[in-house]
Amino acid sequence: MTNRDFSDPRATEQRNPRSERIDVASSLEIVDIMNAEDARVADVVHGQREQIAQAIDLIMAAFKAGGRLVYVGAGTSGRLGVLDATECPPTFGVPPTMVTGVIAGGYGALVKSAEGAEDDVNAGAAAMDTAAVTNRDVVVGIAASGTTPYVRSALSRAQTLGAKTVLVTCAAPPKVLAETCDVIVNPVVGPEVLTGSTRLKAGTATKLVLNMLTTGAMIRLGKVYGNLMVDLVALSAKLHDRGERIVMEVCGVSREEARRAIAGATGSVKLAIVMARRKVDANEARRLLESANGFVRPVVGDPPPVGR
């Protein structure tokens, strides 16, 4: 007798009835089908708002204690973690060790598929030792289907090492992780347009969650003023220009004055703002910022309203 038990309980592996005829659709119809599916993602992520906020609080506390955020994942999930980690230093002026990404198969897996690496449980556990995870860190495991062996073993090892752990998954989490992780972020976006292709809706949901984790934690640490990236590191002409425009807008000065202020602040936009607004030198501006735990608003008042 033929075994017809081909169903998979994971939401990411189920077939989507709304795209079952996508192979005979026109290009415009394909776009409409995919766009309609993507439109569901933001609402699903919103449903996880409290869990995401809990994870932000864990990460912020880790940073304040001198700990790190360590992402770990395989395939698309791992790449998204490394991507988010890589963006933190230029955006928020933090050292590259503060947020790191670990991907199954190593960094070569960023540009070349290493699908079998996700099944290596020993490598997942060893990766936490190689990353020197401690009880001051938060380890965020990213597993679209929730069952990735590499991620499960990494989280288990991180827990043994005393780290706080978070699982981001778009399917029902494994019982052992649901019971042991400090936070489960579980945006179940449902079946993909292409069955099992978790780089689609699951990948989009994951990217939205990771955006919130790091951005939220950095905001809570005082890395922004209003909605301005005052701790950015100007490593390109575009970022030099952005830093100067921020000082111009916030302080009401010319481009040349903004440039001189940033130079006097050894490249720090945040310090330049305090120097210009409070009419103090770099040392005093630094002291004022330190007394406010790095937050600009308590030192210089509110930023100008948008569209001033």
What is d(CA 35, CA 30) in angstroms, rounded to the nearest whole number? 8
Catalytic residue among 13, 87, 249, 257: 87
241 vs 280: CA distance, rounded Å: 24
Q: How far apart are CA 205 and CA 186, in angstroms?
A: 10
- 8 A C-beta contact, residue 266 and residue 282: yes
Question: How far is 100 from 34, CA to CA, in rounded Å?
Answer: 32
Token pair belonging to 105 = 């198969």
Q: In the annotation, is 29 catalytic?
A: no
Q: Pull the structure tokens for residue 160.
A: 């043994």
Question: Catalytic pick from 118, 192, 244, 256?
Answer: 118
Residue 118 designated active-site: yes
Residues 230, 242: Cα–Cα separation, whole Å: 10
| Calpha distance 143→174 (Å, rounded) | 11
- Enzyme catalytic residues: 87, 118
